Amino acid sequence: MASLHFWNEFELKKPPLVTLQVKETGFAKNVYMAINRYLQQQSRPDFVEFNNTAALIGRLMARRKNSFRGMPGFRAVCKLNAALCRLLRLDLPRDLEHFRGALPDACDAELSGDMPTRNSLQFVLVRLLAFYSLHERIRDCCQAAIKYFGQMIRSNFFMEFLTLLIAAVAKINKLSLVQANNCATLYNKLQPQCTKFPQVEKHIFLPQDCKLPTQLQVIKEIQTATPEEASAAGVQLLKQTPSLITKVEKAKQQLKADVGTVVARETSIAPTETAFQLSSLVTVEDVKHFIVRESKARKKNPENCVTKPIQNHEWLAAKTLFERKLQAREQAKALNIFRKFIGSKI
């Protein structure tokens, strides 16, 4: 239907705000109260919190765009950011205030007065439909982003950043649902009043093949949660997933699975020296401390250091390879290669 695309037009032409004399204005009271209640809801702290969280998502996306450029989750966040920006351009409260200002001050079933035309009300309904549909798209993008980044965080990728991003997206998802429900409630109250407004044939707003929906769905079962709970939604999401393994624990598990073969060798050790045990290099941190200690010993007293049999160029190559493997996030390989090198030389 044409209505599916009509609301999505950026430059939607607004019909002129024309008022006509009607005999009864009692129904305008319900319209005025419904719009006034919705505008009061939009001025609550939840609406400000939604804008602040949307701005945070935009900054997070711009900060790490090079890290996630080719990932489906980042594309979902880009679409989410675009929908949030379009939501700001919609400026629904301004259109509602203009329409509310055209309603008569005294609304009585026995009094006549000037009322805005049906075309102006239909324009407001289309704006509400656009607002509701944008929030529906926002929630779809939130779910796609959380699903993808949730899989990444289970593998310990970008743990700190993704935890913050998931929490922000989950909060936007919750606040978006609240705003969409408020919008649907207002739409459902205004739509039955459409036929009571006077019509001007010169200013037909809706196309002939366009029919607005009679009602918008309100998701009441999720609306009971408070917006404050959404700030911890990222943490709750992690609690529902299987227990995460830290990087240190993962390295230890890989080390136990494959540490190479320790070869015993007879070495001539001075009576005052302490024998070096390859088993002391268990973790990546052990290797780092060993490299720092031996580098200092090779400079001060090369004759009594543990790595005395190793040539300078060999020692430098071993350190460089170890650091490169760490930068490539291959801790297990870095540990295994360095242990085998030390075991073959000492």
What is the mean pLDDT, run by run of 10 residues, along the chain of 346 residues?
54 79 81 90 82 86 71 84 87 89 70 81 91 92 87 72 86 92 94 86 73 85 43 44 45 52 46 61 86 86 84 84 85 85 81
Q: Give pLDDT, residue 237.
A: 40
d(CA 318, CA 316): 5
* Residues 167 and 234: beta-carbon distance below 8 Å: yes
| Residue in the block written with tokens 């890290």 | 67
The whole-number pLDDT of residue 242 equals 40
pLDDT value at residue 8:
65
Report yes or no: 215 and 153 within 8 Å, Cβ to Cβ: no
Intra-chain end-to-end CA distance of the chain, in Å: 79
Integer Rg of the chain from CA: 33
* Strands, E assignment, the chain: 19-22, 113-116
